[in-house]
Amino acid sequence: MSIQKAVFPVAGMGTRFLPATKAIPKEMLTVVDRPIIDYAVREAVEAGCETLIFVTGRTKNAIADYFDRNPDLENELEAKQKAEALEIVRNIIPSHVQCIYVRQSEALGLGHAVHCAAPLITPDEHFAVMLPDDLIDGYPVGALKQLIQAHERERCSVLALEQVAWEDVHKYGVIKPANSDLMPIQIESIVEKPARADAPSNWSVVGRYVLSGKIMDILKDVQRGTGGEIQLTDGISQLLQTEKMIGVPLSGKRFDCGNKVGFLEANLHFGLRFLNR
């Protein structure tokens, strides 16, 4: 596979889920029987990524513990002959996949979080960025795999897109398409969380990206933008000045697990699938 590395920015505070997130990271809240982060990680592994880079912060140790082996638990399950449970805990991550943890010491924004992975990415490779809050049941293949397939055809950066209601454009990065009826969509420009009146379209960016490694050099100089944060969207906007970029409309269902309603919907969706197995 052409994309080996995936970056997971997971340093956010999770204030929308307090008090649940007072002692556990929001990425560890469960959808049915797996933490939210597990869904994005499995999507990346299925798409061929072998190096997973987690950009974490304080109070996020549970994420590293979850993806690490737990010999005490494994020994106990083995002794009690709980073969099925043992199989589950041993296979959370395949042995050929490596996890790397980088600390983001200050919450300065998504662009800053992605830049924390800069020492691990070379300028001439493309890499994935996965925002685990966007839990996606991709069809017929996972969302990241859809992006990687487009990247392999076009050899450029690729953004996952979804058309949203116009009253919701202010919640997203929004692109200006050069051609709205041809696929893939050529991206002309991008803006972070525009007011409805200023939005160049209602094609919003979903939390899956395949980006040129050259964005790292750009991100180191991006200034604070929307919401006073260093925005990934502003880095992408500069990358567009020198490189072609396309958008792929997402095929599948997306749940915004960054808010309670989306999180509950994801639990209903995957819960019904679990009940109907």
Residues in the site for ligand G1P, rule: CB under 6 A?
A: 110, 131, 134, 172-173, 192, 204-207, 231-233, 258
Q: How far apart are CA 120 and CA 242, in angstroms?
A: 23
Task: Report, in Å, the least distance between residue 172 CB and ligand G1P.
Answer: 4
272 three-class SS: helix
Return the structure tokens found at 102: 């980088």
Residue 102's region, left for phi above 0, alpha for psi from -120 to 50, else beta, is: beta
The residue among 206 and 210 lying less far from ligand G1P, judged by its C-beta, is: 206
The residue among 77 and 115 lying less far from ligand G1P, judged by its C-beta, is: 115
Task: Report, in Å, the least distance between residue 254 CB and ligand G1P.
Answer: 9
Task: Report, in Å, the least distance between residue 179 CB and ligand G1P.
Answer: 21
Q: How far apart are CA 118 and CA 77, in angstroms?
A: 39
Residue 209, amino acid:
Y
* H-state helical runs in the chain: 36-46, 61-67, 71-79, 83-90, 110-115, 143-154, 215-219, 232-239, 260-275
Task: Report, in Å, the least distance between residue 205 CB and ligand G1P.
Answer: 4
Task: Report, in Å, the least distance between residue 167 CB and ligand G1P.
Answer: 15
* H-state helical runs in 47-166: 61-67, 71-79, 83-90, 110-115, 143-154
The residue among 36 and 206 lying less far from ligand G1P, judged by its C-beta, is: 206
The residue among 27 and 192 lying less far from ligand G1P, judged by its C-beta, is: 192
Task: Report, in Å, the least distance between residue 9 CB and ligand G1P.
Answer: 9
Residue 29's region, left for phi above 0, alpha for psi from -120 to 50, else beta, is: beta
Q: Which residue is nearest to ligand G1P (CB)?
A: 173
21, 14 in Cβ contact below 8 A?
Answer: yes
40, 132 in Cβ contact below 8 A?
Answer: yes
The residue among 77 and 146 lying less far from ligand G1P, judged by its C-beta, is: 146
Residue 269, amino acid:
H
